[in-house]
Structures are given as C-alpha cells and as structure tokens.
Amino acid sequence: MSDIVDEINRLHREVGIRQVEAGEARTVLLRRTYDAEVADVWDAVTSPERIPRWFLPVSGEFKVGGRYQLEGNAGGEILECTEPTRLRVSWLYGPDPGFSEVELRLAPEGEERTVLELEHVAVVPEEFWGQFGPGAVGIGWDLAFLGLGEHLAGGDITKGDAEAWQNSPEAKQYMTRSGEEWGAAYAASGADAETVAATTAATIGAYTGS
C-alpha cells in the first residue's frame, strides 16, 4: 500500500450546496490525477469486469437507461454516458433513498495522465448531515479512489483483501486522516468550527469503530 500521507494529499476535496428539483442538495467533490491514459481510467471505472478489481462486484445493463447494482451497496440508473469523459448515474441505497446522483468527469493531462473528478449530489436528511457531515460519504469515496489508484498501478484488490485491510491500523489511520481532511473542506465551505469538530469526530468514529 502506498504511503498514507501521500495518498491523502493526492486528493482535492470540496463541499457545497446545490438546488435540485427535489430540494436543497449537499455536494461533495473529489479530484485526483492518475498516472494512466484517459482510455485506461475510463475503462477501469466503467467496465463490469474491472470495477470488482478495485471497488465492488457490479451487475446490470450497462447502457444509458439501464440499471446497475453494486453488491451490498448502491444501485440506480445510468443517466448519461459520453465516452471517455463523462458518466452520470443515480446512486440509490436503502428503502427510501431520495435524490442522489454521482457524476464522473475525466480529462487527459498530457498523454500519460488523467484527471478524475467525482461529484456526489444528494438531498440528505438534516439530522443525518447534522450528525456526520460530508465525511459520511467522503471517506468512502476516498477509499474508492485509493483502490482505483492501486488497480491502475497494476494491483488487484480482492474482497477478502479489502476486508482484511479495512480492519488494519493502516486503514484506520487512512480513514482518520481522510475524515480530518473532509472536516477541513467542510470548514472551508463555511461551516462553523463546533459543527466541523462534532461531525468529524462522529464520522471517524463510525468508520474506525473508535
């Protein structure tokens, strides 16, 4: 596994608010540059054969209007797909998921590097956001970006590997640092220090079991 601090620092994070038809939505945005061609990164994030090698097994009908399901996680509809630069899907989890969408945007940086941006937009119950803030989904996306980086560098991560690693001291350190960075992004969006401190502590505790 790559150095934890280095991996944390590779990610740019933003927190915001946006109006959608369903109401006021919370947004989290991640951006990272990968040492891989845009075609390779696009294939890694859209191919049902490759997604399980860094994220989760996925099933469904992989075309615009088709539905997908990640094993034990979110599912939804493929809303837009412009190869190799843009993918937008609904991201629904649980019996009453409300409005939630994820958009991936890819841009080449020279011939051998790719900038990957992920934006998750969701109408979140205020009591949940008030307790956990952006880190609730942010830490999970940080972990996904970490797995993608390992995969693009030539490594594959099995479900067993991922489960074992997530219980390790290194993983808890990564999730703690990730939670702190999402707290900083939340503060930069205008949240007050007391709210940031409380939600950051709650989210890190939920992920690490501390």
pLDDT for 27-79, tens place per residue?
999 999 999 999 999 999 999 999 999 999 999 999 999 999 999 999 999 99
pLDDT for 113-164, tens place per residue?
999 999 999 999 999 999 999 999 999 999 999 999 999 999 877 778 888 8
**Domain coordinates of the chain in residue numbers?**
4-208
Mean pLDDT of the chain: 95
Distance CA 199, CA 167 (A): 22
Residue closest to 58 by CA, chosen among 120, 144, 149: 144
Query: Hey, what amino acid is at 56?
Result: L
| Sequence-separated (6 or more) residues with CB below 8 Å from residue 93 | 73, 74, 75, 100
Q: Say which DSSP state 25 is in.
A: E
Cα torsion through 18, 22, 28, 30, rounded to 10: -100
Measured between alpha carbons, how far apart are the two ends of the chain, in Å? 23
Q: Give me the pLDDT at residue 2, please.
A: 55
Residue closest to 143 by CA, chosen among 91, 179, 112, 191: 179
| Sequence-separated (6 or more) residues with CB below 8 Å from residue 47 | none
Q: Token pair 């009453």 is at which residue? A: 96
Q: Options 3.30.530.20, 3.30.1640.10, 3.40.50.2030, 3.30.70.260; which CATH number does 4-208 get?
A: 3.30.530.20
Distance CA 114, CA 110 (A): 8
Q: For the chain, what percent of residues have pLDDT higher than 90? A: 87
| Sequence-separated (6 or more) residues with CB below 8 Å from residue 34 | 41, 113, 114, 116, 148, 149, 152
Q: Give me the pLDDT at residue 160, please.
A: 80
Distance CA 151, CA 141 (A): 15
Q: Give me the pLDDT at residue 166, please.
A: 86
